[in-house]
Each structure stands twice: as structure tokens, then as C-alpha cells.
Amino acid sequence: MARSLPPLNALRAFEAAGRHQSFSRAADELGVSHSAVSRHVRGLEDRLGAQLFRDLPRGVALTQAGVRYLAALTPSFDRIAEASEMFDQRPTGQVTVDAEPLFATKWLIPRLGDFYARFPDVELRLQANSARVDIDRYEADLALRFFHAGPDHQTAPLLSDAPLYPFAAPTLVPEPLAPEALLQLPLLRDRREDTWRRWATLTGCAPPKGAASDWRMRARLAYESALAGYGVLLASCEIAEGDVAAGRLVQCSDIGFRMGSYHLLSAEGVTRRSAVRLFRDWLLDQSASLRSSSK
Amino acid sequence: MARSLPPLNALRAFEAAGRHQSFSRAADELGVSHSAVSRHVRGLEDRLGAQLFRDLPRGVALTQAGVRYLAALTPSFDRIAEASEMFDQRPTGQVTVDAEPLFATKWLIPRLGDFYARFPDVELRLQANSARVDIDRYEADLALRFFHAGPDHQTAPLLSDAPLYPFAAPTLVPEPLAPEALLQLPLLRDRREDTWRRWATLTGCAPPKGAASDWRMRARLAYESALAGYGVLLASCEIAEGDVAAGRLVQCSDIGFRMGSYHLLSAEGVTRRSAVRLFRDWLLDQSASLRSSSK
DNA sequence: AGGGCTTGTGCAAAAAAGGCACGCTTTGAT
DNA sequence: ATCAAAGCGTGCCTTTTTTGCACAAGCCCT
């Protein structure tokens, strides 16, 4: 781009002076002495090589060039001021967020403290559903949903694409195990996917046979079962993070894979509401921070 | 208005940094060290109370708030830069100006030196006509015309509304005269107006009778006749100014009146051409300077 | 393991901005 | 007519801001 702008403080001084048609009043607005404004304007005129003000018997008046210049500067400064005010106001409003139950519990809620701290006046309503139906059905502004890898969620911003690793309670797996040994333990399976088959393939082991001890259930329940020490679970490392840190789970292997990713869906036209925009921005920042710091 | 803007130099630093997603490259663009940019951005974040950049393993990335802020700042700075470039370029182009003959000779041409000096690359074409027909008929971009006092030229910018005073060659009037004595001299009259009658009324004298020595002619010729010492003329003091300064004319009385004013007419849509805008601006500045300094 | 690239920070120097006091001119009021 | 007030320009000095440099730390790639 390589713009070369005149001194910005001088521009601001000129803008105020032009608006007031008076150096003194401009100085007043800017909270400086009239001499400061006078210097700024003179400096600007020298630099631009054009006269911006004309002397009046008493006071000053803009030249035509000054008028033109001012006409461009004032809206620009206005816009900058307006954008800057964005940060002053304490945001308020309501946001309704619908997240998948496991993701809500283990990913979203642990981070919400930061949001509450930053924006205590925003009222957050949390719902937990997994169905991939229209958000509007749940009357939610935003929805956090899982998508299998593929091109069909291109438009929805990414929240988490952390890979799946095997996790288990330390009571069940006190120390790291080889993949073969791991596959002999009770395997907690998702109700609808066979993630263990894929994992076994990755490790080069034979795909595990179904056993009486292998339970199939919803992700949320499978996770609780793993915490209770009933078996080994394939879970997103971002989701397991908290329980690993607390010593309630251990990662049983370095081998993992990406089955899909969590994305953020927005209800129609809802981003016009500032509280929703705020939460959305915060969420994406959280996600981006997470992905840039780890990995 | 009383805006309160963040430090503008910090804004510029942030804008460049955001655009490049890199403090170093921004510093490069701004011609400063990276530490200056770093400080500016941090200062801005502190002042706004919001995070604008997020640390990346290597480098930085905008937060969502940063993205939003940048989206407002960049166009503003662009606009400021664009407006500022106005002053760099040496203007070129052609302008065709049509002025009333006397006004052209005695008012416009003496000031044109300033225009030539400032904008040597603008080609100026000068025409002299008085008829108040469509400018387009003369293929002129701008026209300088006289209007009698009245509301019918409201839209056209004022060039000169200097009042009329009696002027004569010093050979004819070596020293100030009383109005009665003045009215005894040969009176040069405009072809179509009887300005002397009005002047006499102002002074309280009896209106002058027409005499064999009173000539009626176009303003331009009447003026030349006055210069030649053939009689007394009622003329705008701005027009006579040059010849008074040169000693070729003297103002015979302090009593004067405003009969009308000169205004600037623009051909349709012609202000889009930069050379025309330039001349127009220059002309209006000349006029404004003249009126603010005298009087 | 090491060089290259990027950002953060302490310290001192440089530059910009600012204030004050004064001069000048015009305006308006006593 | 004189005098005060309002405006702006300018020289001089102080204060504040900005900057550069040097160094440290972290990460990436070879």
C-alpha cells in the first residue's frame, strides 16, 4: 500500500479548525492552546504546499482547497471516532446458544468464565442439543455443531478440528499401553460411528471385534463412562483437556485422527444484534487462540 | 462535536500492522522500527481495553475485534490519503473562461499571474462576451457575468459586489470635487443604464440633465474614455483599482452605491473536470480574499 | 543444533508537541 | 476617542511522546 500521509495530529487540528472556522475554538475542542493549532495548520499548509486558510480581518476562513480537504477529512475522522466508540460501551443484550451436549460441557463452559468476566451485562442462554436441524427450531441465535469431514460445511466458521485420541481413567490405564493391549480393553463406542475400527487401522492392528464389554452410547454418556473407568474412549483432545489436566483422564496413545470438526452456525440475520456479534467474535477468538497456541 | 479519538499515530500503526498481519512489515511500510509499532499497538490495546492482536507461534493475527476495527480504519485512512494526494499532483488540463470585457481586462487579467504561477500546466483560454446567453453557446466552461441586484442569481457564486464610485483622469479632476461640481463635468454613461441619475439622488443633488457632452457607450469604451480624460465615469472600485494605483484615474467622491454584482456561472457538469474545478476554486479564493481584506 | 524470523522490553536520545508571553490587528463599547 | 477584548502569529523554553538500539525469548526450518 505504502501510503504517505501528512502528520495526523496536524490533520486533526486542521479538521477541528476548519469545522469551527476558528483556531481558538478548535484549540478549545482539542484541549490545547490556540498556538498549537496555529502551528499545526501552518505546518500542514507548508507540507501540502497549499493555502488552507485565508486571513480574515478578525479570524480565519477556509479557502476552497481547505473546504474540499475538510470535506474528506471530517467524515473520515467521524468514522474513526465511531469505530473507536465501539470499545467504550459496555455491551448488553441476550444471546441464545445451542451446543452439542458434550461440547457444551467440556469445551464451551470451561471457557465461558472469560466471557462473563469481559461482558458481565450480556445475558447468555445455553441449550444442549445435537440434532442438526434448523437453528430457528430451537429459537437459538447460534449453534455449535459437529460435522464430518467434507465440503458441506464450508461456510460455517471452524470452532475445533482437534483430532481424536484414546482416553481412559487412570484407574483403568495407569501407564501408557501399546495399541494392541489397548484394543483388548473395553472400548466405549459412539452410538452410530465405529471410530475404533478406524483407529485400529491407523495403528496397523486388526480391527477389534465387538465384545460384550463394548458399550455403544451417546457421546456424553460414553465420556462419563470413561471418567468412571469403564473403558477406553476416542475423544477430541480439546474436549478431554480439562479432565486430563485434573488427572481424571489420561491420553493412552499418540495416535489419533480427525473425524470431523465443530463449526459455528448462525441464525438468519441474527448477526445484526450486537450481543450476538459479540459472543460470536469472542467464540471465534477463543477457537483461534486455542488452535494457534497448541499444535 | 467534541470527539475523543485514540492517539492517531497509534491508529495508523495498528492499521498498517493489521493490514500486513505483521508488526515488522508494518514498521517497514511506515519507515520505523518494529518496536515502535509494537508499542503503539500495545498502547492502543491498553487504551481501548480490548485485545486487537493475538499471538501466533510466529507473528501475530488480528482478533475479531481487530478485524472489525481495521475494517473501519482502512477506508478512513484511504480516504484521507486520497484527499491528501490532491495536493501532490501538478494539475493539467484546459479551462475556457468567458468574462465580460471590462471585467476581464481590469479585474481578471491582473490576477491571472498568480494562477499561472501556481498552475503553469493548466491551459487557460480566455474569451470576452457580455451576452447573458447559455454558456454552452460560447463553448466556455465558466462565465463571469454581471447581474443587477436581485434574487435571480442566487445560485451563482459571488465574485465581486464592489460599489460604484465616480472616477476620472487626474487631468480632468486634479483634486477632489463636491458632487455638484462633479455633475457639471462631462458624464460618461453606460449604453443602457442611467447610473448618474441614481448617484445624483444619493448625493442629494438634482438629477443631471443630459448634455451634448454626455456620451453613452459600452462599459469598456466608457472606461477607455475616462482614462483619456473625456469625462467622469461610475465604475466598480475593484475594477478601477489598478488604474488608480497607477495614477491614471482618481476616485472623485466617497459616495458610491451597489448596482449589482459579478457572479460565476458554470457550464453543466463541467465541475467534474479537475482543471475547471481548480480555476473555479482559485477564482473564488481571489474574490474572497479581495472582499475580506478591503472593506 | 543453529541460523533466521518475529515480537517484547529497558534505556537513552531525539523529536514533536505544547505552553507562555508578547505583538499585532480589528472590533465594539464606554 | 480611548480602551478592552477577541483573534491570530511567533520566539523561546519545557514537557511529553516517540523512536532506535540492543538484547532476550520463542518458534520454524534445515
Q: Residue B35 belongs to a domain with what CATH number?
A: 1.10.10.10
Strand D contact with A38 (CB < 7 A)? yes
Tell me, yes or no, whether B1 lies in a domain. Answer: no
The answer to whether the Cβ–Cβ distance between B79 and A75 falls below 8 Å is yes
Check residue B262 and give its pLDDT: 93
Bases of chain D below 7 A from a protein C-beta are 6-11, 17-22, 26-28
Task: Indicate if CB(B292) is under 7 A from strand D.
Answer: no
How large is the average pLDDT for residues B69-78? 98
CB A258 within 8 A of CB A202: no
- Closest nt to residue A13, judged CA to C1': C17
B191 lies in the same domain as B250: yes
pLDDT attached to residue B192: 73
Q: Has residue A9 got a pLDDT over 70?
A: yes
Cβ–Cβ < 8 Å for B145, B107: no
Give the integer Cα–Cα distance in Å for A241 and A235.
10
* Residue B208 falls inside a structural domain: yes
Distance between CA A293 and CA A199 in Å, rounded? 26
Q: How far apart are alpha carbons A206 and A188 in whole angstroms?
A: 17
Residue A295's pLDDT band, with cuts at 50, 70 and 90, is: very low
Strand C nucleotides in reach of protein CB atoms, 7 A cut-off: 4-10, 16-21, 25-27
- Tell me the per-residue pLDDT of B152-165, one tens digit each, with 9 for 90 and over: 666 889 999 899 99
Asked if A63 is an interface residue toward chain B (Cβ–Cβ < 8 A), one would say yes
Instruction: From residues 28-87 of B, list those within 7 angstroms of strand D by Cβ.
Output: 31-33, 35-36, 39-40, 43, 57-58
* Together in a domain, B266 and B150: yes
CATH code of residue B118: 3.40.190.10
Q: Is the CB of A41 under 7 A from strand D?
A: yes
Nucleotide nearest residue A9, measured CA to C1'? C17
Residue A87 forms contact with B (CB below 8 Å): yes
* Residue B93 phi, psi dihedral angles, 5° rounding: 125, -175
Residues of chain A with C-beta less than 8 angstroms from the C-beta of B57: 292-293
Residue B136 and residue B105 share a domain: yes
Q: Say whether B48 and A1 touch across the interface (CB within 8 A).
A: no
Task: Give the torsion through C-alpha atoms of B191, B192, B196, B202, to 10 deg.
Answer: -160
Q: Is residue B2 part of a domain?
A: no
Contact criterion met (CB < 8 Å) for B288 and A54:
yes
Closest-CA residue of B relative to A73 is B80
Last residue of a domain, one of B35, B52, B85: B85
Distance, in Å, from the CA atom of A128 to the CA atom of A107, rounded to the nearest integer, reads 13
Under 8 Å CB pairs connecting chains A and B tally to 129
Give the best-scoring range by mean pLDDT among A85-99, B1-15, B65-79, B84-98.
B65-79
* B80 → closest Cβ in A2, A68, A73: A73
pLDDT tens per residue, range A272-282: 999 999 999 99
Q: What is the DSSP letter of B188?
A: E
Maximum CA extent, chain B? 100
Residue A81 sits in the same domain as residue A117: no
Q: From residues 219-248 of B, which are strand D contacts by CB within 7 A?
A: none
Contact B66, A87 (CB under 8 A): no
Does one domain contain both A201 and A170? yes
State whether A57 and B292 contact (CB < 8 Å).
Answer: yes
Q: How confident is the model at residue B269 (pLDDT cuts 50, 70, 90)?
A: confident
Mean pLDDT estimate for chain B: 90
pLDDT at site A228? 94
Tell which wins on pLDDT, B1 or B232: B232
Could you tell me the distance in Å between the CA of residue A282 and the C1' of nucleotide C8?
Answer: 25
Q: Give domain status of residue A205, yes or no.
A: yes
Whether residue B153 sits in one domain with residue B271 = yes
Q: For strands A260-266 and A232-236, give the pairing.
A: unpaired
What angle (nearest 5°) sits at the alpha carbon of residue B100, between those of residues B94 and B105? 80
- B185 and B210 in a single domain? The answer is yes
Q: Coil, helix or strand for B227?
A: helix
Same domain for B231 and B175, yes or no, is: yes
Domains contained in chain A, number: 3
10 Å CB burial of residue B100 (0-12, 13-18, 19+) is: buried
Cβ pair A201, A132 in contact under 8 A? no
What is the Rg, in whole angstroms, of the alpha carbon atoms belonging to chain B?
30
Rg (CA), chain A: 30
Query: How far in angstroms lies nucleotide C26's C1' from the CA of residue B122?
Result: 38
Residues 6+ apart with CB under 8 A from B61: A288, A292, B21, B53, B54
Q: What is the mean pLDDT of chain A?
A: 90
Of residues A8, A54, A288, nearest to B61 (C-beta):
A288
Residue B206 lies in a domain: yes
Instruction: Name the domain boundary from A68, A85, A102.
Output: A85
Q: In what order do the strands lie in the sheet with A122-128?
A: A122-128, A93-99, A142-148, A260-266, A158-160
**Single-letter amino acid code for the residue at B2:** A
Helix (H) or strand (E) holding B16: helix B8-20
Distance CA A137, CA A139 (A): 5
Q: In this structure, are residues B233 and B102 in contact, taking their beta carbons and an 8 Å threshold?
A: no
Q: Which residues of B touch A9 (CB under 8 A)?
A: 8-9
B151 and B181 share a domain? no
Q: Please indicate if any CB of chain B lies within 8 Å of the CB of A78.
A: yes
**Between residues 227 and 286 of chain A, which touch chain B (CB distance below 8 Å)?**
280-282, 284-285
Domain membership of residue A113 (yes or no) is yes
Q: Which residues of A touch B87 (CB under 8 A)?
A: 48-50, 65
Last residue of a domain, one of B85, B102, B117: B85
The whole domain housing A67 covers: 8-85
> B130: exposed, middle or buried (C-beta count within 10 Å: 0-12, 13-18, 19+)?
middle
Same domain, B100 and B52: no
Average pLDDT estimate for A162-183: 90
Answer for the pair B86, A68: CB distance below 8 angstroms, yes or no: yes
Least confident range from A254-258, A291-295, B181-185: namely A291-295
A3 within a domain of the structure (yes/no): no
- Chain A within 8 Å of B28 (Cβ-Cβ)? no
For residue B274 the three cell numbers come to 479537475
Q: Residue A13, CB, less than 7 Å from strand D?
A: no
Closest residue to B69, CB basis, from A55, A83, A282: A83
Read off the pLDDT of each residue in B106-110 and give the average, rounded to a whole number.
96
Is the confidence at residue B24, as pLDDT, over 90?
yes
Residue A1 lies in a domain: no
For the cut 80, the answer to whether the pLDDT of residue B209 exceeds it is no
Distance of alpha carbon B118 from alpha carbon A255, whole angstroms: 75
Contact A236, A227 (CB under 8 A): no
Minimum mean pLDDT among A32-36, A164-168, A185-189: which range? A185-189
The one-character DSSP state at A3 is -
Q: Which nucleotide is nearest to A55 (CA to C1')?
A: D8
pLDDT over threshold 80, residue A191: no
Burial grade of B52 (CB within 10 A; 0-12, 13-18, 19 or more): buried
Q: Give A76 CA → C14 C1' in Å.
A: 31
Residues B74 and B134 occupy one common structural domain: no
User: What distance in Å separates the CA atoms of residue B7 and residue B27, rounded to the nearest whole number?
Assistant: 17
- The answer to whether residue A80 neighbours chain B at the CB level (below 8 Å) is yes
Angstrom distances, CA of residue B205 to CA of A295, B152, B163? 101, 32, 19
Residues of B with CB below 8 A from A282's CB? 64
H or E segment and range at residue A260: strand A260-266
